[in-house]
Amino acid sequence: MIHVQHLTKAYEDLRRGRFLAVDHISFCVQPGEIFGLLGPNGAGKTTVLRMLSTVLRPTSGIATIDGYDVSHEPAEVRRRIGFVSNNTAIYDRMTAWEMVSYFGRLHGMKRDELNERLEKLFTQLRMNEFRDVPGSKLSTGMQQKVSIARALVHDPPVLVFDEATLGLDVLVARNLLEVIRELRQAGKCLIFSTHIMSEVERLCDRIAIMHQGRILDSGTLEELVQRHQEDNFEELFFSLLSEHEAANEMNAADESHIMEVAQ
Ligand SMILES: Nc1ncnc2c1ncn2[C@@H]1O[C@H](COP(=O)(O)OP(=O)(O)OP(=O)(O)O)[C@@H](O)[C@H]1O
């Protein structure tokens, strides 16, 4: 369902010049699977998810959603994907129902089909008690549910959650993880980014550990634990990151030595 091959995004900034925020990464996610992208701040997770949802154009590499290429068939991709982040805009003066309905209309849904879908979604996500409450009066948890409903309104087969639990209290975050599990059960293909290790341990079928634009390793939790002979996932995560940083520092030292010799 999601196929990513050597996906790369280069940025330019004053301090770093041209650098690779995402550096030739590859992975696949199947329907009925939750794939976790785990990495510290700045690892490149959001950049990957924005490329998948066609907000950003890849510098090179290929990503397809249900066979459609994100660079060449963005409209087809958008029809098949829903994006949930922690900072989706909520309109103060629209009610929860109106907001989700508005996005359904943007996706070209007809009134009857849309109303039926909204009834189903508001029940499934337990949103009926605040369906007529305006955005300005919704709690953070309610707002997050509106964001999820908005992403699900056109019933996409692929859902992307970018740090979706950020800023939520434990109870609301737990509810969100429960909703994500239900979506997996319904056969959706889910990709979930976070820097919280316990979330991937509890939720994800497969995990990719990202750092400095690269995937350092990926697999099921059991595969990672076995490969690195470390059953404490937090230790495993930190040792992978520090090995990668040490290797980078050695490469940088080698390069400057070669330049000194060449001069
Ligand atoms: N528009 C931009 N121009 C230049 N650099 C950028 C831009 N957007 C992101 N970056 C840089 O790209 C790298 C990856 O950022 P990204 O937001 O994808 O990381 P992340 O893993 O999602 O981190 P976080 O958990 O902090 O959101 C960072 O070094 C960031 O500073």
Q: Which amino acid is at 166?
A: L
pLDDT for 7 beyond 60: yes
Phi then psi for residue 158, to 5 deg, are -120, 135
* Cα–Cα distance for residue pair 151/149, rounded to 1 Å: 5
Mutate to test the pocket of ligand 1, among 46, 166, 195, 199 (most ligand atoms within 8 A of CB): 46
pLDDT for 258 beyond 80: no
Dist. CA 149 → ligand 1 center (Å): 27
Query: By alpha-carbon position, which residue is closest to atom 16 of ligand 1?
Result: 44
Q: Which residues pair with 27 in a beta bridge?
A: 4
pLDDT for 208 beyond 80: yes
pLDDT, tens digit (0-9, with 9 covering 90-100), for 119-178:
999 998 889 999 999 999 998 888 988 998 999 999 999 999 998 888 778 887 888 888
Q: Which atom of ligand 1 is nearest to the CA of 50?
A: 18
- Please enumerate in sequence order all residues whose Cβ is within 8 A of that of 25, keeping only pairs 6 or more positions apart, or say none: 4, 6, 7, 8, 44, 48, 61, 208, 210, 213, 214, 215
User: What pLDDT, on a 0 to 100 scale, did the predictor assign at position 168?
Assistant: 77
Dist. CA 11 → ligand 1 center (Å): 9
Mutate to test the pocket of ligand 1, among 11, 50, 51, 166 (most ligand atoms within 8 A of CB): 11
Dist. CA 15 → ligand 1 center (Å): 14
* Cα–Cα distance for residue pair 186/138, rounded to 1 Å: 28
User: What pLDDT, on a 0 to 100 scale, did the predictor assign at position 260?
Assistant: 60
The secondary element (H helix, E strand) that includes residue 241 is: helix 233-262
Dist. CA 41 → ligand 1 center (Å): 8
pLDDT for 197 beyond 70: yes
Mean pLDDT of the region 236-263: 72
* Cα–Cα distance for residue pair 195/209, rounded to 1 Å: 10
Mutate to test the pocket of ligand 1, among 14, 22, 41 (most ligand atoms within 8 A of CB): 41
User: What pLDDT, on a 0 to 100 scale, did the predictor assign at position 195?
Assistant: 85
Least confident of 7-11, 56-60, 240-244, 250-254: 250-254
pLDDT, tens digit (0-9, with 9 covering 90-100), for 42-101:
899 999 999 999 999 999 999 999 999 999 999 999 999 999 887 777 889 999 999 999
**ipTM beyond cut 0.85:** yes
pLDDT for 257 beyond 60: no
Is residue 213 a contact partner of residue 20, using CB atoms and an 8 Å limit? Answer: yes
Q: How many CB atoms lie within 10 A of CB 72?
A: 10
Dist. CA 110 → ligand 1 center (Å): 38
Of residues 166 and 237, the one with the higher pLDDT is: 237
**Arithmetic mean of pLDDT over the chain:** 89
User: What pLDDT, on a 0 to 100 scale, did the predictor assign at position 261?
Assistant: 54
